[in-house]
Amino acid sequence: MLPANSINMKTAKKANVQKHTTAKKNPAFDVTNKVGNYEKHPFFIKKANRVKEFLDKVGLPESFKAKTS
Amino acid sequence: MNLAKYHYSTNENYLDYEFKSTGPKGVIRKVVRFAEMGKGIYNLGFGDLDETSGEISDSVATNNADTEKVIATVAFIAQNFSEKYPDALIAIQGTTVSRTRLYQINIAKYWDEVSKTFEIQGYRNNQWELFRKGVSYEAFTARRY
């Protein structure tokens, strides 16, 4: 018969493995509130305004207009 | 897409993304934002974040010897964004002609992968047309099929 503490060790080991597996669930990316919201950042506002001005001038691709109309 | 890429993070709105470029110049924090310009129309912009000043820049070449990996990561991010916003039109235009050309080269390079997910249009000679390799464009749009 195994001593009680060896069973606990096995349980703990199993728990660690499960925890590790969960953390690796999506290795490509994660969703976290640590990523800032850059909606009002001048860099992106300036960029978007520039591209918007371009699209206002040249219009959108016909295929996109067809899908949205 | 089976390309080398960096691990990236996003927040709950799936409009802001961050990843870290690692190379000879050290670790550089990259930020990607899909800025809505009209209903369902988003500009894909990205640059280097200076963590001290909070400034973002794309005017200087980072020279971190990982351009392809960075571009591949941005492509994966666009794919991730489009899963969340499947009807969105993504508009892309470089800050300079050479930057736009860099995007064009990389779209062409990974065309087999990119074209599986997106319909890409390029603007040239005063009109939009389906993207063709080896053709120079002023801007691009991408939309998930």
- For B49-85, the pLDDT digits (tens) are 999 999 998 876 677 888 889 988 999 999 999 999 9
ipTM of the complex: 0.90
Each residue's pLDDT tens digit, B108-120: 988 888 899 999 9
A28, part of any domain: no
The CA-based dihedral angle spanning residues B62, B35, B12, B27, taken in that order and rounded to the nearest 10 degrees: 10
B3, part of any domain: no
A61, part of any domain: yes
B98, part of any domain: yes
A43, part of any domain: yes
Each residue's pLDDT tens digit, B4-41: 899 999 999 999 999 999 999 899 999 999 999 999 99
Q: Which residue range is the domain that position B41 belongs to?
A: 8-144
B96 touches chain A (CB under 8 A): no
B127, part of any domain: yes
The total number of structural domains in chain B stands at 1
Residue contact A38–B9, C-beta within 8 A:
no
A11, part of any domain: no
CB interface of A with B, residues 17-46, below 8 Å: 27-39, 41, 43-45
Q: Which residue range is the domain that position A58 belongs to?
A: 37-69
